[in-house]
Amino acid sequence: MTIRKKIFLLAGILLALFGVVVGVLAVIQKLDSDQIGNIVEYELPLTRLVAEIDVDTDRYELGILRALRLDPLNPPELAAAISTKQAMTEELRTDVDKATALLAKAIQDPSYQTTERIELARIEGSFKYLSRSLEEFLATGELTMAALADGRREDARTASLGFSKFAQAFGPDLSEIRRSLASLTDRATRTVLARQRLNTYLSFGLFLAACGIGLGISAVGSARVVGGLRQLVVRTRAIESGTDSEPLSILTRDEVGELALSFNRMVEELRSRERIKDTFGKFVDPRIVTRLIGSGAEQAERRTLTIFFSDIKDFSGISEQLTASAVVNLLNSYFGTVADVIHAHHGFIDKYIGDAVMAFWVSPFSAGDDHASDACLAALAQQDAITLLRAQLPEITGMRRNPPKLAIRMGIATGEAVVGTIGSDAARSYTVIGDTVNLASRLESINKLYGTSLILSEETYRMAQQVVEARELDLITVAGKTEPVRIFEAMGRVGELEPERIQLREMFSDGLASYRRQDWDEAQGCFERCLLHDAEDGPSRLFVDRVCQLRSIPPPAGWDGVWHFSEK
């Protein structure tokens, strides 16, 4: 018998056991359902109706007695009392009729046991006596109100004395009916709870039986296959330790034999992959190596991705202050810091260019279209990491006094680019080429003009706006391109922007709108208010200067608000 058939046999035994117990549980559940149904359909409504009758009879009597105390008789108030009495008369008769009908229906319901029907019949007898008393009770009220309406106050008072003979019926007798109904409901509830406990015991018993049968059959079946599996484990450990493994001998045609055959195929595939890894040993990131092995080293494809460029602000000036070893230490510490952040956010380091870093994000390493979000979050995390790195600069550079001021500028662009392996047969690089790469590089460079540290392209912000706060900076054309690009400054993570920064963004947006309308006075006023709010705001300072320039040399007719950059 194959392992598969053994599993099916075990499953069949367990299903049969489950079927027996489920059947028993279904019968118990049906009994519970009937009893709960009786409580909901009969006992609770009867209890509510009896309570309403108890309250309404008191209200009826009190309303009439209150009318007797009217002095002098006020016709509107007397008419209202008569109307209320008539409404309560109808309500009491309706409640009594409903209760009588429910009791009759409950006594005939086969889901009730004999003892419960006897109890319901006793309650019905008491209720019939109460309903007969109700008509006399209502007649006393009619007589009292009629005398009062005719102005015979003394006759009305005499008639009202007749309410006293109903004190027993609508007092202790009615309370006894309520107690009987409550006792009936209580017994039914306790019975349901007892059956629920039985359900729990049966379920636990099923679990124990299934465990016993499953473990027993598993123990017997495992003895037949453990030999082949042990051989498989030995060969697997050999591969894990790096030792070459010989193919397994296939001795059976059951599932263990199929597993051995698959193992032999896996061994051959691993050998093939090791040979390919030697070809791509120059690739640093193991994720890229794995992808290339899976899809071929000659691959090149056009993908939508996000490109990142960064460099150290005024690195030439910094390097002039340091020794050669200090420069190397600084760069190694800096590259190590940003590389860790980029890798943690699913990015790839494409290359290091002097003090600059080029990286990219692409699916499937970033889920779906999250590559732009991952890149922006990585850039913001780099800013935090650089802040921590500055505290270590005295030790890194050896300058205990006046260590260099480390700041980075970053540019991020999203769009289509070609991703693939490029180079000669002797040395290749897995890299990205295309206009998006050039745009990201230009955005990084123009940070110095705007006095910013992180600029995003419009497409990047569109795809990452759920995770990053930003403000629109400008509409520009970069060097070498004619198509305008809307650019944004990343200001922080969503939900973490201070109120002052939010206010600055709104004022800057108003200034930008006025600037594009060529309302120079309003634009200058907005940007100057931005500088009063934050004297170090580089974009506002740039636009103040630009507005002054455009006021003296107005733009041509039909100007679309685009600013053209001719330098890289």
> Per-domain residue ranges for the chain?
3-210, 298-496, 498-568
pLDDT at 33 (0 to 100): 75
Instruction: Render each residue's pLDDT in the chain as its tens digit; 568 residues.
Output: 566 666 677 677 767 776 776 776 677 666 667 768 777 777 788 788 878 887 888 887 788 888 777 766 677 777 787 788 788 888 888 888 888 888 888 888 888 888 888 888 888 887 787 778 778 888 888 888 888 778 787 887 888 887 787 777 677 777 777 788 888 788 878 877 887 787 787 777 877 887 777 677 667 656 656 666 667 666 677 676 666 666 666 666 666 666 767 767 777 776 666 665 555 544 456 666 565 555 555 667 899 999 999 999 999 989 988 899 999 999 999 999 999 999 999 999 999 999 999 999 998 888 888 999 999 999 999 999 999 999 999 998 888 888 888 999 999 999 999 988 887 777 677 889 999 999 999 999 999 999 999 999 999 999 999 999 999 999 999 988 889 999 999 999 999 999 999 999 999 999 999 999 999 999 999 999 999 999 999 999 999 999 999 999 999 988 988 998 877 6
H and E: helices and strands count for the chain = 17, 9
CB contact set of 18 (below 8 Å; sequence gap of 6+):
206, 210
Would the CA dihedral through 531, 534, 535, 541 be positive or negative?
A: negative
What distance in Å separates the CA atoms of residue 338 and residue 130, rounded to the nearest whole number? 89
CATH number of the 298-496 domain: 3.30.70.1230
Does the structural domain 3-210 have CATH classification 1.20.1420? yes
CB contact set of 425 (below 8 Å; sequence gap of 6+):
none
Would the CA dihedral through 271, 272, 273, 276 be positive or negative?
A: positive
DSSP class of residue 554 equals P
N-to-C CA span, the chain: 75
Other beta carbons within 10 Å of 182: 13
pLDDT at 282 (0 to 100): 44
Q: 72 with 153: CB under 8 angstroms?
A: no
What distance in Å separates the CA atoms of residue 320 and residue 24, rounded to the nearest whole number? 88
pLDDT at 281 (0 to 100): 45
Polymer length in residues for the chain? 568
Smallest Cα–Cα separation from 145: which of 57, 70, 54? Answer: 70
| HSE, side-chain direction, 13 A CA sphere, residue 187 | 11
- The distance of Cα 125 from the centroid of its chain, to the nearest Å, equals 60
What distance in Å separates the CA atoms of residue 81 and residue 141, rounded to the nearest whole number? 11
Other beta carbons within 10 Å of 315: 20
pLDDT at 290 (0 to 100): 60
What distance in Å separates the CA atoms of residue 367 and residue 361, rounded to the nearest whole number? 10
What distance in Å separates the CA atoms of residue 138 and residue 358, rounded to the nearest whole number? 96
Smallest Cα–Cα separation from 156: which of 254, 258, 85? Answer: 85
How do beta strands 356-361 and 454-457 pair? unpaired
The whole-model pTM stands at 0.53
Equal CATH topology for 3-210 and 298-496: no
CB contact set of 463 (below 8 Å; sequence gap of 6+):
306, 369, 371, 372, 373, 414
pLDDT at 344 (0 to 100): 94
What distance in Å separates the CA atoms of residue 365 and residue 371, rounded to the nearest whole number? 8
